[in-house]
Structure 1
């Protein structure tokens, strides 16, 4: 298979904005600059299109309206407006990225378009990521692969996490041997565990930044707890923490894929701002640690990406609880900010080749399956 250029897009449940990343791959191996000391160099250029507050409000309202969705094509309330916005914003993000890097649409083989998740209920056979892949392809003049979760859910899988196959390719390119843990902390947190035989186990561990961000927004008007500074000044309410960790979805064995709205900051409502931030941060860290009950081997090294990798208080909690080396992905030449966007570029290339995106040990699907809808320009 020939190496091709792909752009990946990711707009996560934290609603910060759109990550853009370019990689070169044949859908199996990944082109890297050079392996050195077990680390790899950056895969390619990246870009970002942030959301304004009015845009975040639209997406929050659309996510609330999505609670009324019963079929994949339902678009109640503000969902049609949000879908048009998501498509347009992603087009703008790619157009700016191409211009910034001196690239033309003809130099890109495919775009991996995740869209914006508004509801994820795999047990009901339902997952909806708004965004019009066909309209995006027409505007950009580039082939687009979208809707990459739907086939897995239709085949009985959880539809998430999708990134483990990319995590494994990165680990192999870097020359890592297991046991290794790769943790992404966005609105939710998900882990890929690779044992010493190279076998993957992947699942959502529980809350990520979502409840922390919601707490900060409600109590302070800020979008997040910068560096975990507010949590660092607080004290964890141990009784509330144990109650939070009793959530049945934390205790459930994999495969499991969760919905951001299943974890709320509101149970911490009686706490001070600092204590609430500390307790919700501990909830995320302890949920990851408790997930090791499902691992065949405890990872001796963890690589952390996503917005949570910048939360120093959370990272310190993880290192203490996991009793292992815990590294920000940036420290080893990976990208904490753009790991998921890179993954969706890689998944788009795999979809074009008909290669599996998901596996029994990642989503619980009965056999490895591919996915995605291909839209030509």
Structure 2
């Protein structure tokens, strides 16, 4: 039995920072097991946050330069983490940071050059997990459902509330997953306009009231009517959501309250449409799971159709980094790590590119 010591890296659309999770991953019979041994979150400086947010606007040569410098920065952060904790690492598995996601145009791009990361960290690296699936006609997203199936199958639904809300569950014998819609992306956009990184615990939103006009506009977004598989990126947020927020004159508290209710209504619609039994369980991770007001509101919207299960803070914050560590292991073993039932690709694949330090 091989036990892999692997460092998973995740940077999400909410632009909070870089998550590092040092994990042990092994297989017992047909069951995959994990241990999260050490974790760290590195907040982005205001300058880096701005660079990543605006990367979509860069000309090609500047974007490629950022790809390389960000890859080197990732490697330096890994080095610090490994040295500070005296870790032995077999591989680093890196998601990178998505700057462009346009599967309908056959492209997706995550910056954080695997070769620069490998050279800076002096470790073997697996990265670029999305490109192959898009080349096979898939959405390239979401990828976390392979972890939901292999690590968290006892729950009926797995919901991630990152910048975007996405869900996965078993449907007619296959794992399906898709982006539901908004999550922290809209909430953080509203708070950052007011020089706050985020609404801790949802306390500001809890003191607000619903702006019914804004809620109606958000609920009417065309994306919500589309069948799965489907996914969205930052481009969609800028084009479709920001104009609604900017055209709504109201207090920060009311905007946040409206955003929370919108997020929860859309999640509840999907759970109610796909639940197979009474008393289903909904396993919630991602930064949104730390928003107490959002979780309370979600349970209210669900009623008795599903029970919300919130795990430990460590798992909430580092589940995605853990799953990319798993995806790295599966790639090394040449096993399926991207499911076509999730992405709509022509076939399952073992995706990711291996980079050796030099």
Structure 2 length normalisation: TM-score? 0.90
1:317-343 Cα offsets, whole Å, 9 max, x none, are 111122322122217xx6111000011
Q: CA deviation at 1:297?
A: 2.3
The match for 2:105 is 124
Q: CA deviation at 1:199?
A: 4.0
How many residues of Structure 1 are paired with residues of Structure 2 in the alignment? 347
Task: Report which stretch shifted further, 354-363 or 153-162.
Answer: 354-363
Equivalent of residue 281 in structure 1, options 255, 260, 266: 260
Decide whether aligned partners of structure 1 residues 64 and 79 sit closer, same or farther in structure 2, where only a CA change above 3 A counts.
Answer: same
The match for 2:188 is 213
The match for 1:200 is 175
Equivalent of residue 57 in structure 2, options 54, 64, 69: 64
C-alpha distance in 2, partners of 1:274/1:12?
25
Residue segments in structure 2 that go unaligned for 5+ positions in a row = none
Conserved 8 A contact 1:358-1:365: no
Task: Report which stretch shifted further, 15-24 or 358-367.
Answer: 358-367
The match for 2:319 is 339
1:13-43 Cα offsets, whole Å, 9 max, x none, are 11111101122224774334xxxxxxxxx53
Conserved 8 A contact 2:272-2:302: no
Residue segments in structure 1 that go unaligned for 5+ positions in a row = 33-41, 69-74
1:198-218 Cα offsets, whole Å, 9 max, x none, are 742211110110011111111
Decide whether aligned partners of structure 1 residues 199 and 80 sit closer, same or farther in structure 2, where only a CA change above 3 A counts.
Answer: closer
Conserved 8 A contact 1:231-1:277: yes
Equivalent of residue 326 in structure 1, options 308, 315, 324: 308
Q: CA deviation at 1:293?
A: 6.0
The match for 1:37 is none
Equivalent of residue 157 in structure 1, options 138, 143, 155: 138
The match for 2:79 is 95
Conserved 8 A contact 1:114-1:148: yes
Within a 5 Å distance, the mapping from 1:122-201 to structure 2 comes to 122-172=103-153, 176=154, 178=155, 180-194=156-170, 199-201=174-176
The match for 1:229 is 203
Q: Is 1:55 paired with 2:48?
A: yes
Conserved 8 A contact 2:9-2:19: yes
Conserved 8 A contact 1:48-1:93: no
The match for 1:9 is 9
SS in 2 for 1:118: strand
Q: CA deviation at 1:192?
A: 1.2
C-alpha distance in 2, partners of 1:322/1:158?
28
Decide whether aligned partners of structure 1 residues 245 and 17 sit closer, same or farther in structure 2, where only a CA change above 3 A counts.
Answer: same
Conserved 8 A contact 2:18-2:43: yes
